[in-house]
Structure 1
């Protein structure tokens, strides 16, 4: 890879690394696994970057590579779904905006999302990232109608998990 392409990649990765961290948080249960998955996603992004044609936004392409890598590794490891140990998670919350109720709700939501299937997690993640159904469908490689139907089912599933 030439230096210009390398610089572009590093800049894009730095500007969008929160996407990778969010995917890692969704598919891992501890800091070491998070770091391992982050590294693997970065490697896959690096390998695929020369083929990135710019037909979509870099962030959309990054979501797709990150989610596909996480799902592939998750399936290979055949892990059972476990809840996150939130005591070990560091939340970066400004002191003036700290809301204990909001943090508790976030913990409950993450716990519920962790109980979903691989594709369901990816879909709800993109939805929570304020992606529209067209972007969700493009990122996951499904139709927009399929994304909407799945999203309705996931919402119902989350309601059941959160309000038994």
Structure 2
């Protein structure tokens, strides 16, 4: 990889690393697993970057690589995943913005989303990131219509999980 290509990659990664952190949060249960997944996604992005043709936005391509890497690793290690108590999660909310009801709702939503399948989690994640169905379909490699149908089914499934 040339120095210029290396510099472009590092710049893009720094500008979009929040995408990788969000994927890691969705597919891991503790800080060590998060850091390991972040490192693995970064390695996969690095390996694939010379093949990035720029036909889509970098962030769309990054979502796809990150989600595919996370799903692959999650499936491989599904039996050995560590779990933790959601009460131990540290939320960085300033005192004047703190709302215990909202925090509890977020915990419940994360618990519900973690019960979904791999692709369903990815779809919810992109949907909550305000991606339109065109970008979701490009990222996940499914049709726009399929993305809409799946999202409607996921919404029903989440309602069932949250309101048994």
TM-score by length of 1: 0.94
Q: Once the two structures are superposed, what CA deviation does each residue of 1:89-129 show, in whole Å capped at 9, x if it has no partner?
A: 33222333222221111111101000000000000000000
Q: Once the two structures are superposed, what CA deviation does each residue of 1:133-163 show, in whole Å capped at 9, x if it has no partner?
A: 1110000000001101100110000000001
Question: In structure 2, how many angstroms separate the alpha carbons of the residues matched to 1:44 and 1:142?
Answer: 21
CA RMSD of aligned residues (A): 1.6
Q: Are 2:94 and 1:91 equivalent residues in the alignment?
A: no
> Could you tell me which residue of structure 1 aligns to residue 148 of structure 2?
148
Question: In structure 1, how many angstroms separate the alpha carbons of the residues matched to 2:82 and 2:134?
Answer: 31
Q: Are 2:19 and 1:32 equivalent residues in the alignment?
A: no
Question: In structure 1, how many angstroms separate the alpha carbons of the residues matched to 2:67 and 2:147?
Answer: 15
Unaligned segments of structure 1, at least 5 residues: none
Q: CA deviation at 1:81?
A: 7.9
Question: In structure 2, how many angstroms separate the alpha carbons of the residues matched to 1:25 and 1:76?
Answer: 17
> Could you tell me which residue of structure 2 aligns to residue 121 of structure 1?
121
Say whether the 8 Å CA contact 2:30–2:82 is kept in structure 1: no
Deviates more, 1:81-90 or 1:19-28: 81-90
Question: In structure 1, how many angstroms separate the alpha carbons of the residues matched to 2:82 and 2:152?
Answer: 24
Q: 1:86 to 1:156 in 2, by over 3 A?
A: same
TM-score by length of 2: 0.94
Question: In structure 1, how many angstroms separate the alpha carbons of the residues matched to 2:35 and 2:16?
Answer: 16
Q: Once the two structures are superposed, what CA deviation does each residue of 1:57-114 show, in whole Å capped at 9, x if it has no partner?
A: 1110000000000001111123388865323433222333222221111111101000
Q: Give the length in aligned residue pairs.
A: 164
Unaligned segments of structure 2, at least 5 residues: none
Q: CA deviation at 1:6?
A: 1.0
Say whether the 8 Å CA contact 1:41–1:66 is kept in structure 2: yes
Say whether the 8 Å CA contact 1:81–1:115 is kept in structure 2: no
Q: 1:29 to 1:73 in 2, by over 3 A?
A: same
> Could you tell me which residue of structure 1 aligns to residue 66 of structure 2?
66
Deviates more, 1:59-68 or 1:93-102: 93-102
> Could you tell me which residue of structure 2 aligns to residue 45 of structure 1?
45
> Could you tell me which residue of structure 2 aligns to residue 108 of structure 1?
108
